A and B are shown apart, each in its own frame.
Chain A
Amino acid sequence: MSAVALLGLAGVYVLALDYTPVEARQGLAQKIFYLHVPAAWCALLAFSLVGIASALYLWLHDARLDRFAASSAEVGVAFGAVMLTTGPIWAKPIWGTWWTWDARLTLTLFLFFLFVGYLALRAAVHDPGERARFSAVVGILGLLLVPFIHLSVYLFRTLHPQPIVLKPSAPSLPPEMLRTLLVSTLVFTVLYVGLVSVRYGLALVEEAAEESDNGV
């Protein structure tokens, strides 16, 4: 499935680069948008699913939920990395600065830290039951942290008006751009599902190997 998604990604590339018009004010770099936004969406999706799976795990104690949460977290890190690299690369030519503490970037940065903390904790705990429980707690707490980060950034922004910057996303997108964006988002989501399935499969295989090791 991932191979299909990767082919889809190649298709997106063609679309983004050839089909959509070059945005007059921002030039070619604006097209990074077609990668950055879907990646951000996938990272957010991955994270929300980790949180939901964590909550369900603490309620139902189904190991599959824990395995899924771990897989989603790892894949989320990958998408988060894409977003955190394409973001500044996009920002530099458009806004003139590599970084800005706006809501989206700040939130993703925090998601990234939370993912990393989650995975670090999993790596540091050996007992599978304990690992599942601890990660689930972090997953839920993390999910609930997100609205507070959002609120903090919002309060900060309304009190500290931003300097006048070039607004990168026009409120109304021409249809070609919108279509490309949607296709790209779809492809990225398929890629997310594919990567999570592969990672989940890996988790199953690793667990089976560990059990047979212990059985010997």
Chain B
Amino acid sequence: MPESLRLALAIAEKDIRAELRSRTALLSAVVFAALVLVVFNFARDPTVLPAIDLAPSVLWVTFALAAIVALNRAFNVEREHGALDGLLLAPVPRGALFGGKLLANLAFVGTVEAVTLPLFVLFFNVDLGSALPGIVGVTVLATVGFVSVGTIFSAMAVRTRFAELMLPVLLLPFMVPPLVGAVQVTSRLLAGRPLSEMLGWLRLLALYDVVFVTLCTMAFAAVVDE
């Protein structure tokens, strides 16, 4: 177990360093997220619809779209450098390989989310207050969910002709439970509701993560091996 974990961390570190050097995935995703927020802001009439009602949905749609952009770019960068083939030749356990990719993608998407959240607070004048730790928590839970499925799907999509289209088509149905759960929890957190009202959704998010991270780890071999 520790051996696989060390391998996964090493793979993740390599990917993260490659991304930090070129920064293409990160920057495009952040810019995209900012654009989405701006559009949302201009699209609604602030006198009719108070920001707080729409806020959780806006935040999560932005996170979801930015995640797709980040996932697409991340695998494309790797495909251009042919890094995956080298790794596949080495006897790296495929589960560890998936783990490494997942951690790297989580780092990318997490960074985008970390930058987007303050922008969101700024543009929409949302008062986070004591909800912040909860929001961070639910963000982690939901992100792990859709990034795990996103990682395996982007590994597949990158081998097809219309990669940038294939990933959203495959991934969007899978993003719905984590997104719905995240929006529900976020809106309750912002409204200061007690924890008991969110437990059902939190359990859904946690269960989703466990099931899909496990499944994708096991299925990764089928995607990258002949």
Contact = CB atoms under 8 A, between A and B. Distances in A.
* Direct touch of chains A and B (CB < 8 A): yes
Nearest to B172: A113
B138 interface: no
Given A117-B169, A121-B160, A129-B226, A140 B177 contact: no
Contacts of A133: 222-223
Question: Interface majority SS on A: helix, strand, loop or mixed?
Answer: helix
Contacts of A116: 169
Contacts of B223: 133-134, 137
A156 B180 contact: yes
Contacts of A6: none
B204 A155 contact: yes
A137 B221 CA distance: 10
Interface stretch (B46-54, B70-78, B108-116, B208-216): B208-216
Interface residues of B, number: 32
Contacts of B176: 110, 149, 152
Given A121-B170, A141-B212, A152 B180 contact: yes
Contact of B222 (A125, A136, A144, A149): A136
Nearest to B160: A124
A137 B174 CA distance: 13
A3 B25 CA distance: 54
Interface string A143-162: 01100110110011001000
A2 B5 CA distance: 54
A138 interface: yes
Contact of B177 (A124, A130, A148): A148
Contacts of A114: 173
Nearest to A148: B177
Contacts of B204: 148, 151-152, 155
Secondary structure call for the B interface: helix
Contacts of A136: 222
Nearest to B225: A133
Contacts of A144: 211-212, 215
B149 A130 contact: no
A149 B177 contact: yes
B82 to A, nearest CB: 18
Interface in A84-132: 110, 113-114, 116-117, 120-121, 124-125, 129-130
A117 B156 CA distance: 12
Given A148-B207, A159-B184, 20 more contacts: A110-B173, A113-B172, A113-B173, A117-B170, A120-B169, A124-B160, A125-B160, A133-B222, A134-B159, A137-B156, A137-B219, A138-B153, A141-B174, A141-B219, A144-B212, A145-B174, A145-B177, A148-B177, A149-B176, A152-B176
Interface of A: 58, 110, 113-114, 116-117, 120-121, 124-125, 129-130, 133-134, 136-138, 140-142, 144-145, 148-149, 151-152, 155-156, 159
